[in-house]
Amino acid sequence: MSYKRVGYVVMVALLLILTTAVSLPAKEPGRYQAMEIERRTRGEYNIFILDTKDGHMWILETEESSVDGKLSGGLKYQGRLRPGKKAGEIIFEFGKK
């Protein structure tokens, strides 16, 4: 799997996000931030994408076929973060303490 092909998948995913978002705010520089969160094999990636203005989150998952090396995957919406009222505020908890 080439880096060019992985770059193409990331570019398509970001273009999809930009075209489905409201057109004016999407033009702000640095609004969408992406970070690789897991690399399972050479051609398989999980990339976290954050809308820094509205708090929307996505995960781009890719998988390389062991038969023919073709890349497949999907973009999964993960929800929306809400801003806190002050620094250090817990905005989400899970599990028992």
Instruction: Report the pLDDT averaged over residues 56-71.
Output: 85
Report if residue 95 sits inside a domain: no
Q: Residue 37 domain-assigned?
A: yes
How many Å apart are CA 11 and CA 13, to the nearest integer?
Answer: 5
Q: Could you tell me if 16 and 75 are in contact, meaning their C-beta atoms sit under 8 angstroms apart?
A: yes
For residues 11 and 59, the model is more confident at 59
More confident residue, 4 or 61: 61
Average pLDDT score over the chain: 76
Per the structure block, which two tokens stand in for 17? Answer: 């996000």
Detail the DSSP E strand segments found in the chain. Answer: 32-41, 44-51, 56-64, 71-80
Bigger pLDDT: 20 vs 67: 67
**pLDDT over threshold 80, residue 76:** yes
Examine residue 17 and state whether it is found in any structural domain, yes or no.
yes
Task: Identify whether 88 is part of a domain.
Answer: no
Per-residue buried b or exposed e for 23-35, using 16+ beta carbons within 10 Å of the residue's own CB: eeeeeeeebbeee
Residue 86 in domain: no
Which range of residues forms the domain containing residue 75?
3-80
Could you give the CA distance from residue 3 to residue 10 in angstroms, rounded to a whole number?
Answer: 11
- Tens digit of each residue's pLDDT (9 = 90 or more) over 11-54: 666 666 655 554 445 455 688 999 988 776 666 788 999 998 88
Burial class (CB in 10 A: 0-12, 13-18, 19+), 10: middle
- Which of these ranges, 3-7, 30-34, 73-77, has the smallest mean pLDDT? 3-7
Q: What is the pLDDT of residue 11?
A: 62
The answer to whether 81 touches 91, Cβ cutoff 8 Å, is: yes
